[in-house]
């Protein structure tokens, strides 16, 4: 049995498209192609790496199904009250004993959203999405049943419902995917549709900054939020300003240089990616507040660089708390 190992991907977009689209939640998990062929189950990541040893409970659940052959495209999630991606990252661990413990205490869920090969071994990838969706719904009803951890991902052709998904915060969803219902499955391309991320904002204290590589401008602002103990923790950075703004900021920020900058978790901790230069930063007195936009949080930190929105001179620094990062 053959099935594509490179999943179909999607182009980024800012807004939900109008017209005839199939909308699906964009889950904040690990994309995964699941293939069963007899007693063999493979879980393959978007980069072509095996997830099987990290998610043995998902392998076992797939082996429990009455269907002995199939291929699914889906997302691995951990459904709990904590941020799911943090718990997923804990699975990528070298110790088999820890993986086994986490599989028991926080089992993963496979959220299936496409059927690539059916239980008869037929390759469905050339069929339009609307046909594959109908067959996926039938497959899930017939084989998933009450099996824990195997779920059918929702889908809708309603623009209004998709808009509600974007507007209502969910701990395991960070946007919406819009797919062309007439399109075949195009493995390894970005021609499957669009992904629209739900953007969040936060007011953060500027606890420090880094100079640009030339040293004549600000390279990035280091962002902080206060925790329940009154400690200012580093939560990320922003650099989305014009070159002119970066240069004009230098004298303003240099007048505010004052250690420690961050009284709690500080930036520049050593890691395998760190260099001497990447750990160099200037601490500031906690007086400036900036609004930033972001899409994801991992381990109480903004996962990627945040987008600069505006300065907030009307906000008190002490009002900028960690609760803003909660789902």
Residues with active-site annotation: 26
Asked if 300 and 233 count as a contact pair (C-beta separation under 8 A), the reply is yes
CA dist 151 to 41, 128, 206, 311, Å?
A: 17, 22, 42, 43
The CA angle 37-41-47, to the nearest 5 degrees, is 115
3-state SS, the chain, equals: CCCCCCCCCCEEECCCCCCCCEEEEEECCEEEEEEEECCEEEEEECCCCECCCCCHHHHHHHHHCCCCEEEEEEEEECCCCCCHHHHHHHHCCCCHHHHHHHHHHCCCEEEEEEEEECCCCCECCCCCHHHHHHHHHHHHHHHHCCCCCEEECCCECCHHHHHHHHHCCECCEEEEEEECCCCCCCCCCCCCEEEEECCEEEEEEEEEEEECCCCCCEEEEEEEEECCCCCEEEEEEECCCCHHHHHHHHHHHHCCECCCCCCCCCCCCCCCCCCCHHHCCEEECCCCEEEEEECCEECCEECCCEEEEEECCCCCHHHCEHHHHCC
């Amino acid at each position: 049995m053959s099935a594509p190992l490179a999943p179909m991907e999607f182009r980024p977009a800012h807004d939900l498209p109008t017209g005839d689209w199939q909308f699906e939640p964009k889950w904040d998990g690990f994309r995964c192609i699941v293939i069963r062929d007899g007693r063999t189950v493979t879980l393959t990541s978007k980069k072509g790496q095996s997830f099987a040893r990290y998610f043995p409970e998902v392998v076992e659940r797939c082996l429990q199904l009455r269907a002995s052959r199939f291929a699914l495209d889906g997302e691995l999630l951990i459904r709990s009250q904590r941020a799911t991606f943090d718990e997923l990252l804990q699975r990528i661990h070298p110790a088999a004993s820890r993986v086994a413990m986490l599989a028991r205490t926080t089992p993963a869920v496979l959220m299936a959203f496409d059927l690539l090969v059916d239980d008869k071994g037929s390759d469905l990838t050339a069929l339009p999405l609307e046909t594959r969706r109908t067959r996926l719904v039938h497959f899930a009803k017939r084989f998933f049943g009450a099996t824990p951890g195997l779920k059918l991902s929702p889908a809708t052709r309603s623009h209004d419902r998709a808009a509600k998904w974007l507007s209502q915060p969910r701990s395991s969803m960070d946007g919406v995917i819009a797919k062309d219902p007439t399109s075949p499955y195009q493995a390894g391309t970005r021609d499957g549709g669009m992904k629209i991320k739900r953007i969040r904002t936060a007011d953060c204290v500027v606890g420090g900054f880094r100079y640009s590589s030339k040293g004549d401008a600000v390279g990035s602002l280091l962002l902080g939020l206060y925790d329940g103990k009154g400690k200012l923790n580093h939560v990320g950075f922003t650099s989305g300003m014009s070159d002119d703004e970066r240069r004009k900021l230098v004298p303003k920020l240099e007048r505010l240089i004052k250690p420690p900058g961050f009284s709690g978790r500080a930036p520049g901790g050593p890691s395998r990616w760190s260099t001497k230069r990447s750990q160099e930063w200037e601490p500031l007195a906690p007086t400036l507040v900036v609004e930033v936009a972001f899409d994801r949080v991992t381990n109480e930190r903004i996962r990627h660089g945040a987008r600069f929105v505006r300065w907030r001179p009307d906000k008190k620094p002490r009002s900028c708390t960690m609760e803003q990062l909660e789902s």
